[in-house]
Amino acid sequence: MAADRVGLPAFTLMARDPFLIALIDMVSEPNGSATADHACTTTREWWDEHGQGPTCDELLLAMFTPDDWSEVIDDPDRTALDRTEQIALLRSWLIHYWTRLGAITYVAGYDSEVRPGRLVATTNVGLPLEDM
């Protein structure tokens, strides 16, 4: 990795990392909202077509082409194994980011499929927690 400064509007990175730059490009505005909306729409369309939600991998495959992210993110300084791990981390960050925005619902370690929209937590009596 190069040791030059990378200037981004909100801050400056001390090292150029192609995966971090790709993540920032996908979540920063104006791309962030559009990409989150695309995740929600793709999830809804998946439900309409299949009757259940996509897995995280299925959602990302439906949203982005090419499906081999290493074709798009050029990082020759990392080994193939390191690039594979960075892609997995980037994909995980995107899923969690869209969940925090409320575009999709996915609870890592619990859910096997993605649902569109925000999860509303309720008590056992059916009232939303904020109404108690």
β strands within 14-116, DSSP E: 104-105, 115-116
Strands (DSSP E) along the chain, which ranges? 6-7, 12-13, 104-105, 115-116
State residue 1's pLDDT score: 44
The verdict on pTM exceeding 0.85 is no
pLDDT in tens, the chain (132 residues): 444 555 555 555 556 777 777 777 777 777 778 888 999 999 999 999 999 999 999 999 998 877 777 777 777 788 888 888 888 888 888 898 899 888 999 888 887 899 888 766 665 665 555 654
Determine contact, residues 36/103, Cβ cutoff 8 Å. Answer: yes
- The pLDDT score that the predictor gives to residue 39 is 92
In the chain, what are the domain boundaries? 19-131
Pairing of strands 6-7, 115-116: unpaired
Cβ atoms of residues 99 and 105 within 8 Å: yes
